[in-house]
Amino acid sequence: MIRTLLSLIPGMKRRAFRRYVVLAVVSVLLRATGVVLLVPLVGALFGAEPAEALPWLGALAAVTAAGWAIDAVVGRLGFDLGFGVLDHAQHDVADHLTNVRLSWLDSEHTQTARQAIAATGPDLVGLVGYLLTPLIGAVLLPVAIALALLPIAWPLGLAALAGVPVLLGALWASGR
């Protein structure tokens, strides 16, 4: 399905798609950083001097705000790509209508075609934002968190790395 989606993206939107993917990966990295920043934050909160948690809290707030900003841009880019796919698909359908026999365009076929075109519009627009963005996050976030945990708390990092194949296997199995 992802290959089909990629083939539907018009050539003039390829650059925007690359920017979308890069920003989606940056968003995942920021979310992973936010999760990993919780380790020293909680350690400082429960340590001898809880005031030492303040810099970690500031870093967490900054990473979270940056992640929200990137997610907003990713969302806009995703819908822009979706509208590009819809526009491209509508032009393709319009181009192919010239090859349809006029006798086929009776009231029943016309109504069915109109419903099919109208019903797929919102699905095509939301396809990138509602399918691809969560998929990128689901695949990359566990790996990013596990790798980021290794230098901070290596036992946690190893445990997270051990769980990554299980999570990705569950994702793969849910798609079947």
Q: What are phi and psi of 101, to 5 degrees?
A: -65, 140
Residue 10 in contact with residue 133, Cβ under 8 Å? no
Distances (CA, A) of 33 to 119, 156, 166: 40, 15, 22
Q: What is the pLDDT along the chain (176 residues), one digit of tens a residue?
A: 677 777 778 888 889 999 999 999 999 999 999 999 999 999 999 999 999 999 999 999 999 999 999 999 999 999 999 998 888 887 877 777 778 777 777 777 778 877 777 777 888 888 888 888 998 998 999 999 999 999 988 898 999 999 999 988 998 898 77
- The confidence score (pLDDT) of residue 1 equals 66
- The confidence score (pLDDT) of residue 104 equals 74
The pTM (predicted TM-score) of the whole model is 0.83
Q: How many CB atoms lie within 10 A of CB 152?
A: 13
